[in-house]
């Protein structure tokens, strides 16, 4: 079945096994926690140390989370991996309520509380800002469940620190334009009929335009198309993962545009959750690593690194910043660059955190 078929509620990561040293280890994938808008998938091999838990916050970016399959494969030999496998919004009954930025933060807080303590957290792209906010709220209100470490990969903490065409496009239009032009109501046989969504087919048009620009300019996606460097390019080619699109709730899409790109609330110190000011200075017992790609034209260098300045209470010896030379956005979590450069530094950071 094609990933682009919009009736899919979610897609399994379908990781059957990993090689550790010279030994092949079977891998199991099971539903650890089921909620209306998200199933938390636990992916692990039988011999993994039970105390080594890592939570991966997949971005609500219009892709199915299977886009992060390479990242998960890299982590599975070392951790019990828990991934937010977000549900296609057109498959969520309207009676299950809204899911906006506030609910996204709340979902991540709840996962930290359920999986903590001694939890490491990785957030990618759009998932970075709500995860940073959730970590601050845990530091303020649930200190015993505060993550041990937080790794932020290519996310727009401060999108104006190094603006990109994506940022400029999102900021160039008022919210009313998005409501009038890219929001639709689910109809037909879907469980979510009547729900307002930002549909996957519109996101796909944008992704194909982005791909065309990369091909014409000789950038990252051209080379991933010509020479797929993923972990399993035959069964899971990059372009199949890249075009695996799902609907987002309209309220989340519009909140994200407004809060992250228009108002830049988290870097301006004005983000609230359930009426409570999110205070990033409260993060003082969570190690912080940021990862950026030199050629990333979605979240350019500086956007994610901004988190360090916003979190002054993190000790200097608990910080790390990695800028990956000659890397675009997707190579930070998919393919050779992820496996050879990002993953080793990430694991070294986690080992250092565990022995602090």
Sheet strands side by side (includes 248-249) = 184-185, 196-198, 248-249
Q: Would you state the pLDDT for residue 19?
A: 85
User: Which pLDDT score is estimated for 40?
Assistant: 97
CB-hemisphere CA count at 13 Å for 157?
Answer: 27
Run of H or E residues at 90: none
pLDDT of residue 1: 37
37: number of Cβ within 10 Å: 21
Q: What is the pLDDT of residue 304?
A: 98
Write the CATH number of the domain with boundaries 17-354. 3.40.50.1820
Q: Cα–Cα distance between 80 and 287 in angstroms, integer?
A: 19
- pLDDT score recorded for residue 49: 63
59-72 per-position pLDDT tens digit: 999 999 999 999 99
Residue 252 has pLDDT above 90, yes or no: yes
pLDDT at 116: 82
3-state secondary structure of 51: coil
Listing DSSP states for 212-250 in one string gives HHHHHHT-HHHHHHHS--SSSTTTS-HHHHHT-B--EEH
Instruction: With a cut of 70, say whether residue 295 has pLDDT above it.
Output: yes
* Sign, CA torsion 174/176/181/185: positive
Question: Are the C-beta atoms of 249 and 89 separated by less than 8 Å?
Answer: yes
58-106 confidence digits (pLDDT tens):
999 999 999 999 999 999 999 999 999 999 999 999 999 999 999 999 9
DSSP-derived pairing of the beta strands 38-45 and 53-57? unpaired
Rounded-to-integer distance, Cα 204 and Cα 224, Å: 18
Q: Give the pLDDT of residue 51.
A: 64
Going by C-alpha positions, the residue among 264, 267, 214, 262 that lies closest to residue 242 is 214
**Does position 4 have pLDDT exceeding 80, yes or no?**
no
The β-bridge relationship of strands 119-124 and 149-153 is: parallel
144 class by beta-carbon count within 10 Å (0-12 exposed, 13-18 middle, 19+ buried):
exposed
- What is the reported pTM? 0.96
Kindly tell me if the per-residue pLDDT of 2 is higher than 80: no
């Amino acid at each position: 079945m094609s990933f682009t078929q919009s009736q899919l509620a979610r897609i399994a990561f379908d990781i059957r096994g990993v090689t550790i040293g010279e030994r092949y280890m079977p891998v199991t994938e099971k539903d650890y926690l089921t909620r209306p808008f998200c199933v938390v998938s636990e992916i692990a091999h039988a011999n993994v140390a039970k105390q080594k838990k890592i939570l991966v916050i997949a971005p609500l970016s219009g892709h199915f989370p299977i886009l992060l399959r390479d990242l998960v494969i890299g982590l599975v030999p070392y951790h019990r991996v828990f991934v937010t496998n977000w549900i296609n919004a057109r498959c969520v009954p309207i009676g299950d309520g809204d899911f906006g930025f506030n609910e996204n933060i709340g979902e991540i807080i709840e996962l930290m509380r359920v999986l903590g303590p001694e939890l490491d957290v990785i957030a990618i792209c759009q998932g970075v800002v709500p995860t940073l906010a959730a970590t601050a709220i845990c530091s303020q209100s649930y200190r015993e469940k505060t993550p041990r470490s937080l790794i932020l990969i290519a996310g727009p903490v401060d999108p104006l620190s190094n603006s990109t065409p994506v940022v400029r496009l999102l900021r160039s239009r008022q919210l009313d334009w998005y409501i009038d032009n890219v929001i639709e109501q689910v109809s037909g046989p879907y469980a979510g009929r009547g729900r307002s969504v930002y549909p996957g087919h519109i996101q796909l048009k944008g992704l194909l335009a982005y791909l065309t620009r990369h091909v014409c300019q000789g950038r990252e996606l051209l080379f991933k198309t010509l020479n797929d460097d993923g972990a399993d390019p035959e069964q899971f080619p990059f372009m199949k993962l890249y075009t695996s699109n799902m609907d987002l709730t309209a309220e989340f899409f519009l909140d994200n545009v407004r809060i992250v790109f228009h108002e830049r609330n988290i870097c301006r110190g004005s983000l609230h959750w359930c009426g409570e000011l999110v205070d990033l200075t409260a993060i003082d017992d969570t190690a912080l690593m940021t990862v950026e790609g030199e050629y990333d034209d979605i979240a350019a260098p500086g956007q994610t690194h901004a988190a360090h300045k916003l979190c002054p209470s993190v000790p200097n010896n608990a910080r790390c910043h990695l800028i990956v030379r000659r890397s675009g956005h997707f190579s930070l979590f998919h393919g050779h660059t992820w496996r050879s450069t990002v993953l080793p530094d990430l694991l070294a950071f986690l080992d250092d955190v565990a022995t602090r």
